[in-house]
Amino acid sequence: MNINLKIENYRLKELFSEKDFLEKSIFVIPRYQRVYSWKVGKNEIENKQVNDFWNDIVGRYEKQETDYFGGILLNKKLEGDIIKYEVVDGQQRLITSILLYAALGRKWGDRLPIVLDVDDENQTIRKICNNCEIDNREKRTNIGRAYSFFKNNIRGVNTEKLKLYFENIKLSVAIIDNEFESNLLFGRLNTRGLPLSDVELIKYHIFSKFDNHSGPGYDDIPLQVWKQIQDKLSHSIDISLNIEEFIYIYWRIENPVIEFSFDNFKSRYSEEHYLSEFLSKILELVLKVEKYKVNDSGSDNGIGDNLSWLFKFKIGYRNKNTLLAVIKVLSTDLNDSDKRNIIDLITLMEAIRFILEIKGVERDFDKLDYFYNKTILEIGENAIYDELIKVIRNNYQNKKLVVENISQLRYVKNSIKIPNKSDEKLMSGFVLYRLSGLSNDQNISVEHILDKALGKNEESPNFNLGNLVLLESRYNTSLPALETNKLTNEKLDIYNQSGLISMREFLNRKKRQTKGWKVAEGDRWDPLNFTFRDIESRAKYLAEDFYRLFKNHIIEYDDRQR
């Protein structure tokens, strides 16, 4: 197949200018492409593509090097009067260049230079491209982290001079006007020394086997399935999931004793089965995960909310072993009740692990990760819960350590700067939601009993878990501000209108004792005379209650074995 390829060279300011390259055009990230995945590394071990990009730019700037800074491959599509350039290769570098350009002061106005396939990412890019503040959730994304990294690092350089240098860097732009051919060329780029992952090689290989001899339009089928997989992963399940990682997970589940590689893929699947036995099967698994995550059947499967929390814990970034185990469980033929028990225990275990990480506690989770990464793939599905219980019972029942660190969680106000601030707030909310038996409802918010505005520094009890409670948002907006660290009858009257279990427990000691247990004297606070000392006691009360949820899995399991 002959490929019609046009290559031109552009300076960055020309590439992103509405008077030049983007006069009647825009860059578009197609759905089958991965989401923005370049990361900021905190140490030498972590992936740190953003750090390397910055160091490369600064090094070139200091030496005033003017040679080419890489290239991008575009698929040209005409839609009305607008030319859309789908970025087939080089999207990570292109987006990173936009983020640095914006950090250096470039603004684009209403017309963005690029359109991403994920709505949330587009909103973040829109803010960044117009020098607007991004929120805490956006700051946790790869795009937000990269932009914040650049904003912090440009403080040490002459911004105007660096911007002038950066916008004159040259890129090679390869343009092709056939989507199928563009994917073939994407694969051939590997012969030029640009590293491609095993998944990218598999993608190219599949596409290359469906040429025009297969019948009219047939060569589009692999691309359509590929796009559908990527769309479901990033839109319906979680933005952190990309097709590369999911294909790896699928392979591990289906071929637990065969190493994942391009060569093994070719050995394992014949060409006539690329669709029926590979891509279609991956799509089936994606749809199965989506069914549990979205849970729009009208009845609570008890799994979807746990999955939402697990992705909030960033298992797609922090620990891919956990992600593998979760998807393995969902892929089995176990009934929903058994799946719910396993996913619930994994969620509680991962919450504890995340809290210990946030608090800087070094804890060995190697045995748990070995179970996630190997044992779970080798044992029968009916033994998964039994073996998980055994691993946890034998290695991870340090109640004192868990309770101590949960009780120290904080939900600080925006003006207070602490390490892992957003993560501590997230886990404080998770503890409260789980103890209340609630899903993560947008109409319910975390309320500080003694006003957070009265907290003076990061050690103030006002921010501690023991000073937090859930409250319906409609009541939260009408709460009066406290002038001192003492509850008023006016605020308590509003609290008494709440129908939430956690609020009833805070207000009424008898509600705390309906569980058939109590924490020594830790539940004996009087709401009207609620003090800093009571905050400390209540934090322990909540932490022990949360540990009880975790421990109950083992207790109930042992009862069933008797």
- DSSP line for 356-376: HHHTT-----HHHHHIIIIIH
Q: Check pLDDT > 90 for residue 3.
A: no
Average pLDDT over residues 476-505: 91
Average pLDDT over residues 518-536: 79
**Are 374 and 536 a contacting pair, CB within 8 Å?**
no
The model's pLDDT over 211-269, given as tens digits with 9 standing for 90+, comes to 434 444 444 678 788 878 988 887 788 877 778 889 999 999 999 999 999 899 999 99
Q: Which two tokens stand for residue 364?
A: 């060995």
Q: What is the pLDDT of residue 174?
A: 81
The model's pLDDT over 134-149, given as tens digits with 9 standing for 90+, comes to 888 888 888 999 999 9
The model's pLDDT over 123-133, given as tens digits with 9 standing for 90+, comes to 888 899 888 88
Eight-class DSSP state of 232: I
Separate counts of helices (H) and strands (E) for the chain: 27, 8
Residue recorded with tokens 């500080």 = 448
Confidence of residue 199 (pLDDT cuts 50, 70, 90): confident
**How far apart (Å, rounded) are the C-alpha atoms in residues 560 and 326?**
24
Q: What is the pLDDT of residue 9?
A: 85
The set of residues, in sequence order, having a beta carbon less than 8 Å from that of 129 and lying 6+ positions away, is 98, 102, 106, 107, 108, 112, 113
**How far apart (Å, rounded) are the C-alpha atoms in residues 535 and 408?**
11
Residue recorded with tokens 């960033």 = 314
**Are 170 and 69 a contacting pair, CB within 8 Å?**
yes
Average pLDDT over residues 64-92: 79
The model's pLDDT over 178-187, given as tens digits with 9 standing for 90+, comes to 665 565 555 5
**How far apart (Å, rounded) are the C-alpha atoms in residues 510 and 415?**
37
Pairing of strands 82-89, 68-79: antiparallel
Neighbour-count burial for 126-163, b at 16+ CB within 10 Å, e otherwise:
ebbbeeeebeeebebbbbbbbbbbbbebbeeeeeeebb
Confidence of residue 395 (pLDDT cuts 50, 70, 90): very high
Q: What is the pLDDT of residue 47?
A: 55
Three-class DSSP category at 32? coil
Calculate the average pLDDT of the chain: 85
Q: Check pLDDT > 50 for residue 44.
A: no
Q: Is 64 left (phi over 0), alpha (psi -120 to 50) or beta?
A: left
Residue recorded with tokens 């022990």 = 544
**How far apart (Å, rounded) are the C-alpha atoms in residues 239 and 217?**
30
Q: What is each CA distance from 249 to 217, 299, 322, in whole angstroms?
A: 30, 28, 11
Three-class DSSP category at 508? coil
Confidence of residue 26 (pLDDT cuts 50, 70, 90): confident
Angle value at C-alpha 533, between 532 and 538, nearest 5 degrees? 95
Instruction: Determine the length of the chain.
Output: 562
In 209-279, alpha helices (H): 221-231, 243-254, 262-268
The model's pLDDT over 494-503, given as tens digits with 9 standing for 90+, comes to 999 999 988 9
Max distance between CA atoms of the chain, in angstroms, equals 81
Q: What is the pLDDT of residue 461?
A: 96
Average pLDDT over residues 417-432: 93
Average pLDDT over residues 466-471: 96
**How far apart (Å, rounded) are the C-alpha atoms in residues 163 and 462?**
44
Q: Which two tokens stand for residue 401?
A: 């350590």
**How far apart (Å, rounded) are the C-alpha atoms in residues 480 and 276?**
62
Lowest mean pLDDT among 296-300, 319-323, 361-365: 296-300
**How far apart (Å, rounded) are the C-alpha atoms in residues 242 and 251?**
14
Q: What is the pLDDT of residue 291?
A: 92
**Are 402 and 358 a contacting pair, CB within 8 Å?**
no
Q: Check pLDDT > 50 for residue 193.
A: no
Q: Check pLDDT > 50 for residue 21.
A: yes
Share of the chain above pLDDT 90, in %: 48
Phi and psi at residue 551, in whole multiples of 5°? -65, -30
Q: What is the pLDDT of residue 496?
A: 94
